Amino acid sequence: MKKKVLAVFMATAMAFGLMACGSSSQTAAPAASGGADGLIKVGIINNDPNESGYRTANDSDLKAKFTKENGYDASFAYSLKNDEQIQYAQTFIQDEVDYLLLSAADTAGWDSVLQDAQAAGVKVILFDRTIDADSSLYEASIVSDMAKEGQTAVDWLAGQGLSEYNVIHIQGVMGSAAQQGRSGALDTKVAAEANWNIVKQQTAEWNAEKAQQIVQSVIDAGTPFNVIYAENDDMAKGAVAALDAAGISHGVGKDVVVMGFDCNKWALEELLAQNWNYDGQCNPFQASYIDDIIKTLEGGGTLSQKTIIMDEKGFDASTITQEDVDNYGI
């Protein structure tokens, strides 16, 4: 009896769950099928905005750009799972959108659905992430060049003219594009220069607490170091917490150079206060690039290049201004 009650309960819960899913996609559907005259219909598939500050900024940038006022009829769908994203893509193709904008959760598995899109005359634009599919299947891709971000940062560090570089290198999740790009530049430089040493190279998996422990372990060992190269802001923050606890000074003109990535607003404020030295941008503002591409294509023009790499800055604590913090902080 109890089991039956439970089964009924579970079934109802599931039905409600399905209904909930149904209603959320329904809100997307009428907007897309409405298609008021003159508006360009776009379907946007993104990762979950809760994923990170970067994603939140990315999502709000897209939402601000693709509005009715700007001549767009946009529908949004979010998932961190590739198969769900593919389903959303199929829904958008059935709804006959003009453009499909895609930030894929995974690089693989997109060929067949993009072929469907091509057959239906839907133009595909990739943003933020690339996929392993034939480049004829999409119009353009707008991406960050992580290797370039790393190179910019390493060049900046080399420009500091320290007599010796003893670097604590805190890596992101191993194998992610951001980790590979940002690690690659530093590894090459350390291998090439005699006065560049890695004191410690370990992954903190984007996690501030783990970064704090890694730096703490170097401090406990008593190994001297003068640079912290953290592959995102959170980890730099964790590293700085360990420095503070150990009474090691950091920032502009101090003992340890602190470097981070992503340009979170709070991180840029640390730069402004000269507690950190450098922050590399990972540009989440792709909407205007996409907008330009769509305008060009709608005007009958052709794109000069398929892969568009966004401008990304690196901020130096000695030159950053409040304006930079407001404009580039995410």
Partner 1 sequence: MVKSFFKRLTSNQLFIPLMALILLAVINLINDPGFFRITLGTNNAGNPVLSGYLITILDYGSELGILAIGMTLVTAASGGQDISVGATIAIAGSAMLRVLCGGNSRPDQIQAPIIVAFLVACIVGMLCGAFNGLLVAIFKIQPMIATLILFTAGRSIAAWINNNELPIVPDPKFSYFGSFIPGIPIPTTVFIVAICIVIIALVLKFTNLGLYTQAVGINENSSRLNGINPTFIKFLAFVILGLCVAVAALIKVSRLSTINYSVIAKDIEMDAILAVALGGNALSGGKFNMWASILGAYVIQFLTTTLYKFNVQSDALAAYKAVVVILLVVFSAPTVRDYMARLGKNMAKRKEAA
Asked if 51 is part of the footprint of partner 1 (rule: CB under 8 A), the reply reads yes
Residues 6+ apart with CB under 8 A from 221: none
Question: Binding residue for partner 1 (CB under 8 A) from 46, 47, 52, 144?
Answer: 52
> Which range of residues in 48-56, 61-69, 139-147, 293-301 is near partner 1 by CB under 8 A?
48-56
Question: Binding residue for partner 1 (CB under 8 A) from 11, 14, 108, 246?
Answer: 246
Q: What's the CA gap between 314 and 25, in Å, rounded?
A: 39
One symbol per residue from 248 to 287: x for binding partner 1 (CB under 8 A), - otherwise; what is it?
xx--------------x-x---------------------
Asked if 182 is part of the footprint of partner 1 (rule: CB under 8 A), the reply reads no
Q: 41 or 172, CB closer to partner 1? A: 172
Question: Binding residue for partner 1 (CB under 8 A) from 91, 141, 144, 212?
Answer: 212
Asked if 79 is part of the footprint of partner 1 (rule: CB under 8 A), the reply reads no
Q: Is 259 exposed, middle or buried (0-12, 13-18, 19+ CB in 10 A)?
A: buried
Please spell the DSSP secondary structure of 187-201, one letter per residue: HHHHHH-TTEEEEEE
Provide the residue type at 265 as one letter.
Answer: K
Write down the least CB distance from residue 261 to partner 1, Å.
15
Question: Binding residue for partner 1 (CB under 8 A) from 29, 39, 177, 241?
Answer: 241
Please spell the DSSP secondary structure of 198-246, one letter per residue: EEEEEE-TT-HHHHHHHHHHHHHHT----EEEESSHHHHHHHHHHHHHH
Asked if 201 is part of the footprint of partner 1 (rule: CB under 8 A), the reply reads yes
| Contact indicator for 257, 277 with CB cutoff of 8 Å | yes
| Contact indicator for 89, 100 with CB cutoff of 8 Å | yes
Q: What's the CA gap between 129 and 66, in Å, rounded?
A: 19
Q: Which residues bind partner 1 (CB under 8 A)?
A: 2, 6, 9, 49-53, 56, 171, 174, 200-203, 205-209, 212-214, 216-217, 219-222, 234, 237-238, 241, 243-249, 264, 266
